């Protein structure tokens, strides 16, 4: 009897369970799809930044207290993985078969990047000179920051399969590398000590030995050699977020032949580790946006306009002038890339966003100067929208008639 009752009642119950499982499955798939979309479209940072902006302007005390507690772990430790991943992408792409392998491809982008740097910095300094705000002068390297990933994804969307994409990436990489060398030694620390160089050499030697011993796993290099290098950088007063960069060329990796930012299939142990690394970096980038992009909207001031003008006017004008100079010097543009495409490339490279935020937090201490600089950086994302509008107006790429 009891069994019968149980059987009778179990049918609807089983139906509920089945229905609930199906709903859960759908929910999981939806979450997974959203998650994939966010990761594939490089949206973790903008989402983190948007949350930070809303939080900072609605509950500023809670936001800034939380942001300050997390700042060191995210900016000094977590971002080391971000820069290591960027370095890994560049190292891969520079290997035979990689999109950045041939030095010939570098020449024109190098000149364009130099033009962009000179243009942005010149506009920044001119703005300060006439605005009489000498206090903003330490922030000039912020003008030398291009959000390479944002540039890549935008150009991929509006100029698909164009040779303008690797060209723009090279411009971004060269520009950021320049900024990185300027920012690293200007890291604000309480005190600096000597002896870090020995520790870095030890870390590199350990990585060489591990590689010679055939260690294929990814993490021992990061945990052991990376930690040593991080300590060395911190000890010497260099920005520790760049500490993994010297280790990266020694990491076990698979060669890539695709775009720099394209995800390779997760088909072996090394790539699996890289895939995990990608996910970790996305989480870090989200936290980076959350911790650093929160500014109060009334923080805008001269520094905001200086950064914005340098990024949106100085850099694009400089890139175009650089290319003009390169052409006069006998250099060549990639095939099917003309002035119209270049204009879109130059505008797409005008947003500093993640890298600019990172440079700003490395160069400037807490205070209004940092806050107003951040406002300018966030506003420079408008360059991406302008690039889309110009591509549309010029009927380029996906907007071609």
Partner 1 sequence: MRRRLLVVSLLLVLARPFASAVPDTALPARADSLKFGVIGDNGTGDRPEYDVGQQMAAARTQFPFTLVIMLGDNLYGRQDTQDFAAKFEQPYAALLGQGVRFRASLGNHDNQRNRFYPGFNMGGERYYSYADKNARFFVLDSNQMDPRQLAWLEGALKQSSDPWKICYFHHPLYSDGGRHGSEVELRVVLEPLLTKYGVNVVFSGHDHVYERTKPQRGITYFVAGSSGELRKGDVKPSALTAAYFDQDQAFMLVEIAGDDMFFQTRSRTGRIVDSGIVHRQPLDIREAP
User: Stretches 77-85, 131-139, 203-211, 273-281: which one binds partner 1 (CB under 8 A)?
Assistant: 131-139
| Distance, CA of 12 to CA of 10 (rounded, Å) | 6
Q: How many residues bind partner 1 (CB under 8 A)?
A: 26
Nearest to 93 by CA among 285, 313, 257, 273: 257
Q: Kindly write down the DSSP assignment for every residue of 76-114, as one continuous string.
A: IIIHHHHHHHHHHHHHHHHSTTSTT--THHHHHHHHHHH
Select 330 or 367, whichever has its Cβ closest to partner 1: 367
- Select 56 or 87, whichever has its Cβ closest to partner 1: 56
CA 384 – CA 147 distance, rounded (Å): 10
Query: Would you say 95 and 261 are in contact if contact means Cβ atoms under 8 Å apart?
Result: no
Footprint (CB under 8 A) of partner 1, residues 365-394: 365-371
Nearest-10 Cα torsion for 255, 81, 173, 203: -80
Cβ proximity to partner 1: between 22 and 69 the closer is: 69
Instruction: Work out how close the CB of 64 gets to partner 1 at its nearest, in angstroms, rounded to a whole number.
Output: 4
Part in contact with partner 1 (CB under 8 A); list of ranges 32-40, 140-148, 185-193, 205-213? 185-193
**What does the alpha-carbon distance between residue 98 and residue 112 come to, in Å, rounded to a whole number?**
21
39 Cβ contact list (under 8 Å, min separation 6): 278, 279, 282
User: For partner 1, which is the closer residue by CB, 166 or 362?
Assistant: 362
Among 232, 364, 378, 388, binds partner 1 (CB under 8 A): 364
Least separation, in Å, of the C-beta of 267 and partner 1? 46
User: Cα separation of 318 and 258, whole Å?
Assistant: 29
Of 17, 27, 54, 135, the residue at the interface with partner 1 (CB under 8 A) is 135
Q: Which two tokens stand for residue 28?
A: 């999981």
Q: For partner 1, which stretch binds (CB under 8 A), given 59-67, 240-248, 320-328, 380-388?
A: 59-67
Residue ranges in 186-215 that form contacts with partner 1 under rule CB under 8 A: 188-190
Long-range contacts from 19-23, C-beta under 8 angstroms, 24+ separation: none
From 146-154, 212-220, 316-324, 361-369, span contacting partner 1 (CB under 8 A) = 361-369
Contact 155, 391 (CB under 8 A): no
Q: How far is the CB of 135 from partner 1 (least distance, A)?
A: 5
Q: Which of 134, 161, 194, 214 binds partner 1 (CB under 8 A)?
A: 134
Q: Round to the nearest angstrom and report the end-to-end CA distance of the chain.
A: 75
Q: Is residue 259 involved in binding partner 1 (CB under 8 A)?
A: no
The answer to whether the beta carbons of residues 164 and 334 sit under 8 Å apart is yes
- How many Cβ atoms sit within 10 Å of the Cβ of residue 128? 20
Handedness of CA 143, 149, 154, 155 (dihedral sign): positive
Binding partner 1 by CB under 8 A: which of 132, 161, 335, 401? 132
Q: Which is nearer to partner 1, 48 or 383 (CB)?
A: 48
Non-local (6+) Cβ contacts of 194 within 8 A are 236
Are 352 and 151 in contact by the 8 Å Cβ rule? The answer is no
Q: Which two tokens stand for residue 288?
A: 């980076």
Q: Which among 97-105, 227-235, 312-320, 363-371 is the span making contact with partner 1, rule CB under 8 A?
A: 363-371
The span of 132-140, 173-181, 222-230, 309-317 binding partner 1 (CB under 8 A) equals 132-140
- For residues 88 and 302, which CB has a smaller minimum distance to partner 1 in the complex? 302
Sites for partner 1 among residues 60-79 (CB under 8 A): 60-61, 64-65, 67-68
Instruction: List the x/- string, 275-304, binding to partner 1 by CB under 8 A.
Output: ---------------------x-x--xx--
Residues at the site binding partner 1, with contacts judged by CB under 8 A: 60-61, 64-65, 67-68, 132-135, 138, 188-190, 296, 298, 301-302, 364-371
């Amino acid at each position: 009897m009891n069994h019968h009752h149980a059987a009778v009642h179990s049918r609807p119950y089983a139906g509920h369970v089945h229905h609930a499982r199906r709903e859960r499955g759908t929910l999981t798939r939806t979450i997974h799809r959203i998650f994939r979309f966010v990761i594939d479209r490089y949206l973790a940072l903008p989402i983190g930044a948007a949350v930070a902006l809303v939080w900072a302007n609605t509950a500023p005390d809670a936001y800034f207290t939380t942001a300050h507690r997390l700042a060191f772990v995210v900016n000094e430790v977590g971002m080391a993985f971000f820069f290591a991943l960027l370095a890994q992408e560049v190292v891969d792409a520079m290997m035979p078969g990689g999109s950045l392998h041939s030095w010939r491809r570098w020449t024109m982008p190098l000149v364009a990047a130099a033009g962009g740097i000179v243009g942005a910095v010149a506009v920044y300094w001119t703005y300060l000179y006439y605005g009489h705000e000498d206090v903003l002068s330490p922030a000039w390297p912020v003008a030398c920051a291009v959000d390479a990933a944002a540039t890549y994804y935008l150009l991929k969307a509006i100029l698909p399969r164009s040779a303008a994409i690797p060209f723009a990436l090279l411009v971004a990489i060269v520009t950021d590398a320049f900024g990185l060398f300027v920012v690293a030694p200007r890291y604000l620390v309480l005190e600096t000590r000597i002896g870090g160089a020995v520790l870095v050499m030890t870390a590199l030697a350990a990585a060489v030995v591990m590689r010679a011993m055939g260690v294929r796993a990814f993490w021992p290099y990061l945990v052991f050699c990376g930690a040593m290098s991080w300590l060395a950088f911190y000890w010497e007063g260099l920005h520790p977020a760049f500490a993994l960069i010297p280790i990266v060329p020694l990491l076990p990796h698979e060669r890539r032949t695709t775009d720099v930012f394209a995800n390779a299939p997760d088909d072996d142990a090394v790539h699996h580790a890289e895939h995990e690394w990608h996910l970790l970096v996305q989480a870090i980038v989200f936290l980076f946006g959350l911790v650093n992009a929160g500014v109060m909207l009334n923080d805008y001031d001269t520094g905001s306009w200086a950064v914005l003008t340098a990024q949106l006017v100085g850099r694009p004008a400089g890139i175009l002038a650089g290319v003009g100079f390169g052409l006069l010097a006998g250099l060549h543009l990639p095939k099917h890339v003309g002035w119209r495409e270049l204009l879109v490339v130059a505008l797409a490279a005008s947003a500093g966003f993640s890298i600019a935020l990172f440079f700003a937090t490395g160069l400037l201490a807490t205070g209004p100067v940092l806050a107003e600089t951040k406002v300018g950086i966030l506003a420079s994302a408008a360059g991406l929208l302008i690039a889309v509008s110009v591509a549309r107006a010029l009927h380029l790429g996906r907007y071609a008639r």
